[in-house]
Chains A and B, each alone.
Chain A
Amino acid sequence: MQNLHHEGLDIRVDLGTSGRIGLAWNGRATSKEPAKILGPFFDDALNLAQQTSSWIEMHFEDLEHFNSSTIAAVIQFINAAHSRHVDVVIHYDQARKSQQLSFEALRRALRPFESVSGSTVKFLPVPR
């Protein structure tokens, strides 16, 4: 699986730990149609996670900004991971109000999906 570079966004793939697929977001996610780029990338990550029985760990702490279209792509990815029984851990910067608000809303939005049999999604605020 390759790193993703698109416009101002970089997602670095870290496969250095067995059982873990690390995806570290950097820069700005401001694409007009992020699903076109992120969709295939997320599919690759989910396929690899299923093949290797790994969980996916996403790091957003160094992401400067993401638009609502990217947020839509992220929540669809998390929902897809849930239905494909892949665990997801999301790290975000607790000190930044914008990230705190964004991920708090995502966490709340995903609550009803938790009761359905699937995987777990954890949100970990990182103090910086």
Chain B
Amino acid sequence: MIDLPIRERWQLVDVLRTVVYQCLVTAFEAEQFAELVSMVAGELVENALKYGAWDGSAEPRGGEARLRISGRPAGVDLEVTNPLPEGAGTGMLYDVLDRIRRAPTPRDAYVERLREVARDSATAFSGGLGLMRIAYEAGCALSAVVEGKTLSVRASVDAPLDAGSDLAR
């Protein structure tokens, strides 16, 4: 189990991603799997920093922000938790998850979103692209839960058959 605090420092994303990569690659000798899981961790933590309740100090307002990763026999589960800003909705997040579910494949959802981003060059907004990317590239199941003012986004990544014998050790 990896359980790390998330602070409002953008450079921290790369540090956390690297830590996750090093842990997995050392423990399971599965470099490509470690790269995918660390990419998932990076995208989820980036979203927490972009959309969480931050006010310029290192700690979020109204609760903790954390990255948790646990092993299971055939993969890993990631969870990123962060408090939501006052009055913030989660409609866009659930729309993105719904788009992924409704698409024939996660790749179709991601490719369609890439096309939208390509056409919309007037804006740098690329919301939802990260979640669609991890659903496609890491083949993971995504879900989100709001409890009170805290959002938890969960991703389950299955390991390929050649990615180490027992990931739950």
Measured CB to CB, the residues of A under 8 A from B are 7-8, 28, 30, 32-33, 35-36, 39, 65, 67-69, 71-73, 75-76, 78-80, 96-98, 101-102, 105-106, 108-110, 112-113
Contact = CB atoms under 8 A, between A and B. Distances in A.
B10 interface: yes
A76 B32 contact: no
Q: Is the interface of B mostly helix, strand, loop or mixed?
A: helix
Interface of B: 10-11, 13-14, 17, 32, 35-36, 38-39, 42-43, 46, 49-50, 107, 110-112, 114-115, 117-119, 121, 124, 126, 129-130, 133, 136-137
24 contacts: A7-B11, A8-B14, A30-B42, A32-B46, A32-B50, A36-B124, A65-B35, A65-B39, A67-B13, A68-B43, A68-B129, A68-B130, A69-B46, A71-B126, A71-B133, A78-B118, A79-B119, A80-B121, A98-B35, A98-B39, A105-B110, A108-B107, A112-B115, A113-B118
A65 B17 CA distance: 10
A67 B115 CA distance: 17
A33 B10 CA distance: 11
B117 A72 contact: yes
Contacts of B130: 67-69
A65 B42 contact: yes
A106 B129 CA distance: 12
B121 A98 contact: no
A7 B12 CA distance: 12
Nearest to B50: A32
A114 to B, nearest CB: 12
Nearest to A7: B11
Contacts of B114: 71-72, 75, 105-106, 109
Given A67-B46, A67-B130, A105 B111 contact: yes
A75 B117 contact: yes
B118 to A, nearest CB: 4
Contacts of A98: 32, 35-36, 39, 137
Contacts of A78: 118
B42 A71 contact: no
A22 B10 CA distance: 30
